[in-house]
């Protein structure tokens, strides 16, 4: 504990105010939160004005958030926090069992109401003039047995070439560049999409303001979001990144992992797409559900 010249009993008094009905995990989380918050304020000698500027940012984030946008999440993302808790959660799961495909953050543009589509369908419903079309395919399989998983769901979402997801852009039809696919009897999914392009995270709110204050660019490397689920298996949230992207080493939300970098390769004899991407998803059995716990 650093020495300081402020009331040495204060932090313990705040922690000790917790009553006996606090759950053990909540007590642990709140104790750590209060200690770090107070240590931070004392170490940096945070003033009332600086703290109040922070409060305004937080309130602003909430005020910008709605069904289609989660600015509080984006603020965490630019500090690398979502990527870090993702790493922690993955490590805990890995230690409990085996390693599934590396995970990545869900991000603020996921929509719970994305529609089902047929395998082979094109998710590009509003096609930009500079579109580079890709055919994506793969299998969903059991991580341990490599057995294909039939009837698994593969949900994907991506931004258009102008850097906007459909809910951010009135020029795109609803659910453009999104879709949920069900794997066939061989565990396969396939569809057409855009080769993803880099884009800046929205910079009209506190996350953008923080990036500006930290003199950082807002760009994310080109990626496709994937959420794969199958009954009896743990859901997997991931993102796959184009190896050729120039922002791979400095993603504004720090979500890139080496194992998530993929290669788009030329596709022959398909008038619909000039590129092809093969990506298999491995899911880990959910002990809680398979053991009936």
Q: Does 55 bind a second copy (CB under 8 A)?
A: yes
Q: Report, in Å, the least distance between residue 204 CB and a second copy.
A: 15
Q: Does 42 bind a second copy (CB under 8 A)?
A: yes
Q: Does 60 bind a second copy (CB under 8 A)?
A: yes
1-12: string of b/e by CB count within 10 Å (b at 16+)?
eeeeeeeeeebe
**Binders of a second copy: how many residues, by CB under 8 A?**
76
Member of 1, 3, 44, 269 binding a second copy (CB under 8 A): 44
Sites for a second copy among residues 231-260 (CB under 8 A)? 250, 252, 254
Nearer to a second copy, 88 or 173 (CB): 88
Cβ neighbours of 155 (radius 10 Å): 21
Nearer to a second copy, 108 or 179 (CB): 108
Scan for tokens 């200690």, then name that residue: 35
Distances (CA, A) of 150 to 95, 126, 130, 166, 251: 27, 30, 35, 30, 34
Three-class DSSP labels, 37-57: HHHHHHHHCCCHHHHHHHHHH
Nearer to a second copy, 62 or 120 (CB): 62
Q: Does 98 bind a second copy (CB under 8 A)?
A: no
Cα dihedral across residues 229, 230, 232, 238: positive or negative: negative
Scan for tokens 């999409």, then name that residue: 193
Q: Does 67 bind a second copy (CB under 8 A)?
A: no
Encoded tokens for 110: 């996921």
Over the window 188 to 217, marking each residue x when it contacts a second copy by CB under 8 A and - when it does not, the resulting string is ----------------------x--xxxx-
5: which strand partners? Answer: none
Nearer to a second copy, 85 or 288 (CB): 85
Sites for a second copy among residues 105-134 (CB under 8 A)? 106
> What backbone torsions phi and psi does residue 207 show, to the nearest 5 degrees?
-65, -45
Q: Does 2 bind a second copy (CB under 8 A)?
A: no
Member of 20, 24, 271, 292 binding a second copy (CB under 8 A): 20
Q: Does 76 bind a second copy (CB under 8 A)?
A: yes
Contact (CB, 8 A) for 162 and 194: no
Nearer to a second copy, 21 or 185 (CB): 21
């Amino acid at each position: 504990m650093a020495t300081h010249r402020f009331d040495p009993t204060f932090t313990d008094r705040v922690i000790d105010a917790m009553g006996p009905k606090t759950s053990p995990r909540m007590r642990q989380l709140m104790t750590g939160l209060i200690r770090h918050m107070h240590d931070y304020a004392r170490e940096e000698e945070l003033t009332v004005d600086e703290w109040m500027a922070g409060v305004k940012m937080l309130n602003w984030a909430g005020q910008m958030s709605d069904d289609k946008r989660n600015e509080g999440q984006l603020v965490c993302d630019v500090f690398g926090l979502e990527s870090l808790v993702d790493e922690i959660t993955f490590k805990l799961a890995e230690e409990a069992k085996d390693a599934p495909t590396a995970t990545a953050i869900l991000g603020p543009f996921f929509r719970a109401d994305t529609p089902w589509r047929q395998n082979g369908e094109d998710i590009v419903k509003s096609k930009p003039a500079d579109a580079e079309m890709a055919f994506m395919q793969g299998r969903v399989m059991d991580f341990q047995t490599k057995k294909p998983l039939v009837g698994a769901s593969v949900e994907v979402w991506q931004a258009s070439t102008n850097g906007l997801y459909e809910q951010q852009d009135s020029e795109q039809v609803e659910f453009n560049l999104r879709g949920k696919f069900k794997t066939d009897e061989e565990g396969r999914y396939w569809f057409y999409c855009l080769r993803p392009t880099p884009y800046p995270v929205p910079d009209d709110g506190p996350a953008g303001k923080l990036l500006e204050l930290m003199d950082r660019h807002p760009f994310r490397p080109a990626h496709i979001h994937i959420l794969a689920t199958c009954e009896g298996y743990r859901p997997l949230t991931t993102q796959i990144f184009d190896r050729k992207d120039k922002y791979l080493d400095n993603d504004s939300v720090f979500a890139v992992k080496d194992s998530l970098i993929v290669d788009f390769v030329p596709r022959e004899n398909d008038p619909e797409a000039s590129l092809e991407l093969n990506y298999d998803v491995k899911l880990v059995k959910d002990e809680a559900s398979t053991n009936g716990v």
